[in-house]
């Protein structure tokens, strides 16, 4: 199996979570569709499965740090996927929080509208 960078694995995880949220598909199916191999990296597997497993708790935690005129459901699916995945990574404590926040902001700058990365940065800084 080809070794991928953590950044690339996060990108695959975010894409898989996006598909899961948008299409209500099984997360395992989404992950397999987004990888070139039948072997799934342990990091990728852990963050995608745990994000879905604890999604309701993470939504509650994220919602506490959104401004009063925003709800989690009002966010775009990409923003939701990035926030949920980052919340999971912070919870798992695999890497330091500043790295998780930086990676989430980098993904948001690449895949979201301009203001989204600021919102993601602000919410994650408060977790």
CA distances from 113 to 8, 34, 117 (A): 20, 23, 8
Enter the CATH code of domain 6-126: 1.10.940.10
| Closest among 86, 45, 27 to 62, alpha carbons compared | 86
> 100 with 43: CB under 8 angstroms?
no
Report pLDDT for 3: 62
pTM for the whole structure: 0.94
Sorted by where each begins, the domain ranges of the chain are: 6-126
End-to-end CA distance of the chain: 35
Residue 2 has pLDDT above 60, yes or no: no
Span 47-76, pLDDT tens digits: 999 999 999 999 999 999 998 888 999 999
Residue 103 has pLDDT above 80, yes or no: yes
């Amino acid at each position: 199996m080809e070794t991928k960078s953590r950044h690339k694995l996060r990108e695959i995880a975010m894409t898989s979570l996006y598909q899961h949220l948008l299409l209500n598909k099984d997360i395992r199916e989404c992950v397999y569709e987004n990888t070139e191999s039948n072997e799934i990296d342990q990091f990728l597997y852990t963050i995608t499965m745990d994000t879905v497993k604890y999604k309701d708790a993470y939504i509650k935690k994220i919602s506490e740090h959104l401004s009063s005129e925003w709800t989690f459901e009002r966010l775009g699916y990409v923003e939701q996927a990035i926030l949920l995945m980052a919340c999971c990574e912070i919870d798992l404590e695999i890497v330091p929080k500043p790295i998780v926040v930086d990676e989430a902001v980098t993904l948001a700058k690449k895949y979201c509208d301009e203001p989204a990365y600021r919102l993601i940065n602000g919410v994650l800084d408060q977790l």
